[in-house]
Amino acid sequence: RPILIGRPAVIEQRIARYGLRLVAGQDYTVVNTDHDERYRDFWQEYHKMMSRKGITEQMAKLEMRRRTTLIGAMMVKKGEADGMICGTVSTTHRHLHFIDQVIGKKQGARVYAAMNALVLPNRQIFLVDTHVNVDPTPEQLAEITIMAAEEVRRFGIEPKVALVSHSNFGSSNAPSAQKMRDTLAILRERAPELQVDGEMHGDLALDANLRREVLPDSTLEGDANLLVLPNIDAANISYNLLKTAAGNNIAIGPMLLGAARPVHVLTASATVRRIVNMTALLVADV
C-alpha cells in the first residue's frame, strides 16, 4: 500500500490537477509533514541516534519536519513502512546522507553504490556505479561488483561482468587502468565463480566475437551484461549516452546497493514509468 509523505492539501490539489482517480485512505495513506502523531517519537529517536554527531534537539525537530527522506527512513527503521523510494528532488548524496544515518549499510557491506539497468535492442545492460562513489578504490569496486552481480541474478540473468577502461588488457599503465586490473585480482580471490574479465574497451565488453580476436583466452564468455566503470564520470556518462542514443530513455534505477533495508534513490529525471518499475522492484525486495 503506497504511503505518501507530504502535505495532504498539496497532494489533493495535484490529484485534482492531473485528473487522477485516487482517494486518500483507500488508494494511499499520507504522512502529514505539518502534523503527525509520531513526530515527537521520530525526532526524539533521531536525536538519540545522532546526539554525538552534532545534531541538537532543535535541529532534530527541524529536520524531522522538513526532510521527507528522513521521515521515510525513520518509518522504515521503526517498521512503519517496508521500504522507501525517494530522490526525485535534489541530489543522490543528499538523500543518501539521511539513509546512512538512520538505516545504514547491510551486514558486511562497507560501501553503497548505484546500479542502473537499460533495456536496449536485443540486450539488457547493467552499469555501476553511476551516482554514488566518485572515485572508488579497487577494494570498493570489487565489493560493488559482487553486490551488483547478486542484484542482476535477482532479475533471472546470469551476470557476465566486464571491467571497462580506456585501456585494453594492459595497453596502458594509467592509474585508472591499474585500478581495474587490481579490481580483477581481488574478484578472482573473493568471487572465483563470477564470470569477469578486464580491463577492456567497451566494444570488446559488448562483442564477444571481437574480444576473442583480441584475447582468445579471455575468462569472460559471451557479451557482457554488467559493466563496471572506473569512476562516476565514466559510469554516469556511459549510462546517459546509452539511455538516450539506444535505450529510448527507458531505464530501471538507480538501484541502491548496500543498504540494510529496501531503499532506492531515484533522480530528478525519473519518469512515471521508471517510478512504477522501481516500486515493483521494491516490493520484490520486501
User: What confidence tier does 249 reach under pLDDT thresholds 50, 70, 90?
Assistant: confident
Give the architecture (CATH level 2) of 113-257: 3-Layer(aba) Sandwich (3.40)
pLDDT digits 0-9 by tens, 40-94: 999 999 999 999 999 999 999 999 999 999 999 999 999 999 999 999 999 999 9
Q: How far does CA 55 lie from the centroid of its chain? A: 27
Tell me the average pLDDT across 173-200.
97
Check pLDDT > 90 for residue 248: no
Query: Does the pLDDT value for residue 247 go beyond 90?
Result: no
pLDDT of residue 190: 97
For 69, 180, 274, the CA distances from 89, given in Å and listed in that order, are 10, 33, 15
Cell 497532494 locates to 11
pLDDT of residue 253: 95
220 neighbors 196 (Cβ within 8 angstroms):
yes
Domains 36-104+259-285 and 113-257 share a fold: yes
Checking if the pLDDT of 250 tops 90, the result is: no
261: amino acid identity, one letter? R
Strand pairing category for 113-120 and 123-128:
antiparallel
Cβ contacts of residue 207 below 8 Å, gap of 6+?
Answer: 223
Mean pLDDT of 100-127: 96
Residue pair 151/255 in contact by the 8 Å Cβ criterion: yes
Select from 90, 69, 77 the least CA-distant residue to 48.
77
- Cα–Cα distance for residue pair 24/6, rounded to 1 Å: 13
Which cell is 179 given? 585500478
36-104+259-285, CATH topology level: Rossmann fold (3.40.50)
Residue partners of 54: CB distance under 8 A and separation at least 6: none
Q: Which three cell numbers stand for residue 168?
A: 585494453
Residue 107 pLDDT greater than 90, yes or no: yes
Q: Sheet with 226-228: list strands edge to edge.
A: 195-200, 160-164, 226-228, 123-128, 113-120, 251-257
Question: Average per-residue pLDDT in the chain?
Answer: 96
The pLDDT score that the predictor gives to residue 280 is 94
pTM of the model: 0.93
Domain residue extents for the chain: 36-104+259-285, 113-257
Task: Write down the residue that cell numbers 538512520 correspond to.
Answer: 102
- Cis (ω within 30 of 0) for the bond into 36? no
Instruction: State the average pLDDT over residues 181-204.
Output: 97
- The pLDDT > 90 percentage for the chain reads 95
